[in-house]
Structure 1
Amino acid sequence: MRLLFEVSGVVRAPLEDVRERMFADAGESGPHRLVDRARGVIAYWGDWWYRGEDSLHPHPEGALLVHRVHNIAKQGNWAPYLANKLFIGYRARLEEGLRQRIAELEAQT
């Protein structure tokens, strides 16, 4: 498993409140999903290369939300770069998505 991207931001709300909101509709672990409420981690992956992971951590201003994207391809681990056009603009989309997610979590207070 190779880390490709990591973006993070602070949700300005108490950690336990954010954890409750984040897991409210997370469902349960399954074949392509890990839901670990105790550790504050939700991970999801496909059949080929993608694994996304959201995790919560304590922060002086509330809760730190970290999103990581991993390449989990067992063979042809170079191919996701071609399939995703060398990931051009990918980080910017991840950062925007994280900002939106943080705004949603903060709005639920």
Structure 2
Amino acid sequence: MRKRLLFEVTGVVNAPVEKVAELMFASGPPSGVHTDADRATNTISYWGNWWYRGEDSVEEHPDGARLVHRVYNIAPQGNWAAYLANKLFIGYRATLERSMRDRVADYQAKLDYSG
């Protein structure tokens, strides 16, 4: 499968990687899509039937855990059509960034990690 990275957004949760990963796996991916969970790499992948593949992962960070959300175009052909179907992705990055801020705040509140 060929993956073309379109977007990447990140956020930091002030808690250990293991705790953030547990919460990410418990939250799971959106419903109604294909999924793959890899606990060894702290990654959840989910994709549709055409162009979209999302990957969420948790990595080490000096302040705790870094959440990463990547969006790939995986269309085997006609990959340009994803841009048209999504109105050239105008405003898409802002939506992803807002979603990441909300997710970090939600995880932080749920974990309320103070050491």
Work out whether the TM-score is over 0.5: yes
**Could you tell me the TM-score, scaled by structure 2's length?**
0.88
Counterpart check, 1:15 vs 2:17? yes
Structure 1 runs (4+) deviating above 2 angstroms are none
Percent sequence identity over aligned pairs: 64
Letter of the structure 1 residue corresponding to residue 28 of structure 2 = A
Deviation at 1:48, TM superposition (A): 0.3
Partner AA of 1:59 in structure 2:
H
* Secondary structure at 2:108 match in 1: helix
* Structure 1 partner of 2:88: 86
Name 2:36's counterpart in structure 1: 34
Q: Distance in 2 between matches of 1:93 and 1:24?
A: 23
Task: Give 3-state SS (helix, strand or coil) of 1:105's partner.
Answer: helix
1:32 Cα offset (Å): 1.4
> Residue 69 of structure 1 aligns to which amino acid in structure 2?
V
Give CA-to-partner distance per residue, 1:4-50, whole Å, 9 cap, x none.
000111111111111111112438xxx81111112100010000000
SS in 2 for 1:100: helix
- RMSD of equivalent CA atoms: 1.3
Q: Distance in 1 between matches of 2:18 and 2:71?
A: 24
Q: TM-score, with normalisation over the residues of structure 1?
A: 0.92
How many residue pairs match? The answer is 106
The gaps in structure 1 that reach 5 residues or longer are none
SS in structure 2 of the partner of residue 63 of structure 1: strand
Distance in 1 separating the partners of 2:78 and 2:45: 22
> Runs of 5+ in structure 2 lacking a partner?
none
Question: Residue by residue, what CA displacement relative to the aligned partner does 1:31-88 show, whole Å, maximum 9, x if unpaired?
Answer: 8111111210001000000000001100010000000000000110000100000000
Q: 1:102 aligns with which of 101, 104, 107?
A: 104
